[in-house]
């Protein structure tokens, strides 16, 4: 029976768990670059009109889809920002967009100091679990992008750019970084 090098296995698991994060970071950075061009980029990037129409058609045609959407809308009405972002993308509604804006700005302002401290420290600080790449917030932002002020967009995009670059730089340098299961696991080069 061949001998498995556990460090290689662990490294492989960490790389596999980070690929979705790096992919979304790349998509976000591309969207940000597109937005900076002189030609305006349509929003949302991650939920094009064709997909929106497909979802709306299913809600109209199928009882199970309508029931699921009713549950999502009820969750949005109770304050779930992810569900509020989806409801806003599908049918509009200032109250849904306002809920997402408020919670997303609060989330970014709360997490920015920890990310800045990690960057200043040159790597992930043990026990700081708040700089995990959570793709939910990037999707919320994309779905309600048009409702943010320029200043709020700058606040959020600065955070996401820093976080995306930090992840990319961490992988390139082989620095310790958290995984989805443990913030203390590191890889060897």
pLDDT at 187: 37
> In this structure, is residue 85 part of a structural domain?
no
pLDDT at 82: 93
Scanning the chain, the segments in alpha helix (DSSP H) are: 6-36, 49-61, 63-77, 81-91, 94-121, 135-144, 150-173
> In this structure, is residue 58 part of a structural domain?
no
pLDDT at 34: 52
Q: Label residue 182 exposed, middle or buried (CB < 10 Å: 0-12, 13-18, 19+).
A: exposed
Whether the CB-CB separation of 45 and 27 falls below 8 Å is answered with yes
pLDDT at 7: 40
Whether the CB-CB separation of 83 and 76 falls below 8 Å is answered with yes
Q: Which two tokens stand for residue 32?
A: 């940000």
Label residue 162 by pLDDT band (50, 70, 90). Answer: confident
Label residue 169 by pLDDT band (50, 70, 90). Answer: confident
pLDDT digits (tens, 9 = 90+) for 175-186: 555 444 433 333
Label residue 135 by pLDDT band (50, 70, 90). Answer: confident
Listed in sequence order, the residues at least 6 apart from 24 whose beta carbon sits closer than 8 Å to its beta carbon are 133, 135, 138
Number of domains in the chain: 1
pLDDT digits (tens, 9 = 90+) for 31-62: 555 555 544 556 667 888 899 999 999 999 99
Q: Label residue 152 exposed, middle or buried (CB < 10 Å: 0-12, 13-18, 19+).
A: middle
Whether the CB-CB separation of 46 and 82 falls below 8 Å is answered with no
> In this structure, is residue 112 part of a structural domain?
yes
pLDDT digits (tens, 9 = 90+) for 65-119: 999 999 999 999 999 999 999 999 999 989 999 999 999 999 899 888 888 887 7
> In this structure, is residue 70 part of a structural domain?
no
In a 3-state reduction of DSSP, which class is residue 176? coil
> In this structure, is residue 188 part of a structural domain?
no
> In this structure, is residue 34 part of a structural domain?
yes
1 pLDDT above the threshold of 80: no
> In this structure, is residue 51 part of a structural domain?
no
pLDDT at 101: 95
125 pLDDT above the threshold of 90: no
What domain range is 137 assigned to? 6-43+96-173
pLDDT at 23: 53
Check the CA dihedral 121-26-29-97 and report its sign: negative
pLDDT at 189: 35
Least confident residue range of 3-17, 70-84, 132-146, 151-165:
3-17
9 pLDDT above the threshold of 50: no
> In this structure, is residue 48 part of a structural domain?
no
Q: Which among 72, 91, 69, 89 has a CA at the least distance from the CA of 80? A: 72
């Amino acid at each position: 029976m061949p001998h498995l090098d556990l460090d290689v296995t662990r490294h492989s698991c960490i790389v596999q768990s980070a690929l979705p994060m790096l992919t979304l970071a790349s998509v976000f950075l591309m969207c940000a670059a597109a937005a900076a061009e002189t030609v305006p980029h349509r929003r949302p990037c991650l939920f094009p009109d064709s997909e929106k129409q497909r979802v709306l058609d299913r809600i109209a045609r199928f009882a199970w889809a309508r029931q699921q959407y009713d549950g999502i809308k009820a969750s949005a009405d109770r304050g779930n920002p992810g569900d509020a972002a989806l409801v806003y993308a599908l049918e509009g509604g200032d109250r849904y967009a306002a809920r997402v804006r408020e919670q997303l700005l609060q989330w970014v302002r709360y997490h920015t100091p920890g990310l800045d401290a990690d960057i200043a420290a040159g790597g992930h600080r043990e026990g700081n679990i708040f700089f995990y790449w959570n793709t939910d917030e990037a999707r919320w932002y994309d779905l309600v992008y048009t409702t943010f002020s320029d200043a709020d967009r700058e606040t959020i995009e600065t955070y996401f750019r820093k976080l995306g670059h930090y992840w990319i730089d961490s992988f390139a340098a082989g620095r310790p970084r958290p995984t989805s299961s443990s913030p203390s696991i590191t890889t060897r080069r």
